[in-house]
Amino acid sequence: MKMLRILIFGVVALAQLAVPATMVWQRDQTLKQGRIWKFRTAPVDPVDVIRGRYIALRFTAEEFAAPAKFEAGNKPVYAVLKQSTDGFAEIDHLTTEAAGTDDAVPVESVWWWGGKQQVRFPFNKFWVAEANAAAAEHAYVENNRRDNQNAYVTVRVRRGDAALDQLYIDNQPLSEYLRAHSPQ
């Protein structure tokens, strides 16, 4: 009985280890091999009591002109990306076909209003250090105004998996920007 319990726990322990390990492996593959895309951003900073602090991200690419609402029914929707002339990602079109390529990302919700199609990308939280949260939020807001659009994120896309890589403020990774602009 004791051995059986330990055996069952062995299986459970493997499952407990496998869940975070799979997350690491999948993300690592995408971050190493995925195609890199740059997305322009927009603000907010709520607190997630369980998982520390994060910056909630919005992207300019999440809204684009469309003559009619995209009808997907209950199927999952993917955004096929293209690069604009300034090097940032834009949505070329929406599709319900899972292409599994490096230029299509899944989107969470789709709605249409006033001739514009709106979507939500699944990579909308950027985790930050608790000690840096206030400074990060301040830096993000300061560099994300209409008159000072100076923030973007890089996202790696590999076979439909989108991994948020880095948040850039004034063309520097957030941590470097904060270090350079710290009061000392």
Partner 1 sequence: MAGVRNRRAIRWLRSQLPELVASGVISSENARAIDGYYEHDQPRVNFAFVILAALGSALVAAGIILLIAHNWDDLSRATRAGVAFLPLLIAQALVVFTLMRRNESRPWREAAAIFDVAAVATAISLISQTYQVQGTFADFMRTWLLLSIVIVYLLRTSLGVIAYVIGCVLWLFARWGPASSAGNPLLFWFLLTLVIPYVAIRFRSDCDSRETATLVITVALAAMFGVGATADFADANVGAIAYAGLATAIYLCGIKFFPQPAGRLHLLALLGGIAIGVVTIVLSFESNWHMTYRVASVPRTSAANLAVVVELLFPIAAVCLASFDLLRRRAEFSLSAALFPIVTAIAWAITHLCEFPNDRWRSTRCSFAAGTVMNCYALLLGIDILARGIRTNSIARANFGLLLIAALAICRFFDNDLSFVARGVGFIIVGVGFLVANLLLFKRRTAS
Footprint of partner 1 (CB under 8 A): 2, 5-6, 8-9, 12-13, 15-17, 19-21, 23-24, 27-28, 31, 48, 50-53, 122-132, 163-165, 175
Token couple for 44: 């907010």
- SS3 state of residue 21: helix
- Nearest residue (CB) to partner 1, 99 versus 131: 131
To partner 1, the closest distance from the beta carbon of 62 in angstroms equals: 14
Closest CA to 92 of 53, 127, 66, 131: 66
CB 93 within 8 A of CB 103: no
To partner 1, the closest distance from the beta carbon of 10 in angstroms equals: 8
> Cα separation of 96 and 79, whole Å?
9
- Nearest residue (CB) to partner 1, 84 versus 134: 134
| One-letter identity of residue 58 | R
To partner 1, the closest distance from the beta carbon of 146 in angstroms equals: 26
Tokens 């593959």 locate to 29
To partner 1, the closest distance from the beta carbon of 77 in angstroms equals: 16
